[in-house]
Amino acid sequence: MRTLTPPAPEAPRAPAPGPVTRRLLACGPAAGTLFVGAFLVQGALRAGYDPLRHPVSSLALGPHGWVQSANFVVAGLLTLAFTAGLARALRGSRSLPVLVGIWGAMLVAAGVFTTDPVSGYPPGTPDLLPHYSGLAAELHDLVSLPAFVALPVACAVFAVRCARAGERAWAVYSAVSAVVFAVAFGLATAAFAQAPALVAYGGLFQRVAVVTGWAWLALLGVRLLRRP
């Protein structure tokens, strides 16, 4: 007598995000749009500032530096809210929200601690100070490093997650974002250390890294918001 085996149950799908989760997830695209838009406008209007040469953090120096400091803090807080949305939307995933949360927390800290002049901005300052001018500048660099490490690692972690789920497009996009971010950040670091062949394009390299990272976060938020 043949026994009939019941069909295997389908794997449960992640539920669509609820209203609170959706509001939190919307903070990701908002954070990136605000941050990138603010530094692009400031860089275009600031006298003596060269976006191709100077870092985004240098916009916090000078008479209107508070605008960029506030930009860091607000974007960081929005990213932390987005992190809470990630934790709610990606049940069972801990590493990704933690990594994105590090990026957000360090943005807030970067807004609190102001950087030193570099590459001749503000005008009249040396290309590279022989030592930190104070504790705030040292802390700015200290908190920036984990931020610029956490975000490409987050891209790589999500690439692995998508590859295992068979989502090839997102796996490739996330992996490419991780590589572009890491390479551009390395070039920017060398440029700000006054490497002769790179110093004139330090700001460009940093912007490539930052825009790549923010674009990935924004599209990740949109992807989760559009989950059927």
Can you tell me the mean pLDDT for 115-128? 96
Q: DSSP 3-state assignment of 14?
A: coil
Can you tell me the mean pLDDT for 62-78? 96
Can you tell me the mean pLDDT for 10-37? 83
Q: At what angle do helices 95-112 and 135-164 cross, to 10 degrees?
A: 160
Pairwise CA distance, residues 127 & 146, whole Å: 24
Is pLDDT of 14 > 90?
Answer: no
pLDDT interval class at 91 (50, 70, 90): confident
Pairwise CA distance, residues 17 & 120, whole Å: 48
Torsion 99-156-90-220 (CA) sign: positive
How many beta carbons lie within 10 A of that of residue 88, not counting itself?
17
Is pLDDT of 28 > 90?
Answer: yes
Pairwise CA distance, residues 21 & 66, whole Å: 31
Model confidence, pTM:
0.90
pLDDT interval class at 228 (50, 70, 90): low
Contact 104/83 with Cβ under 8 angstroms? yes
Can you tell me the mean pLDDT for 65-89? 97
CA-only gyration radius of the chain, Å:
20
What percent of the chain shows pLDDT beyond 90? 87
Is pLDDT of 16 > 70?
Answer: no
Q: DSSP 3-state assignment of 184?
A: helix
Is pLDDT of 8 > 50?
Answer: no
Domain boundaries, the chain: 20-225
Contact 184/209 with Cβ under 8 angstroms? yes
Q: What is the pLDDT of residues 160-185, one digit of tens each?
A: 999 999 999 999 999 999 999 999 99
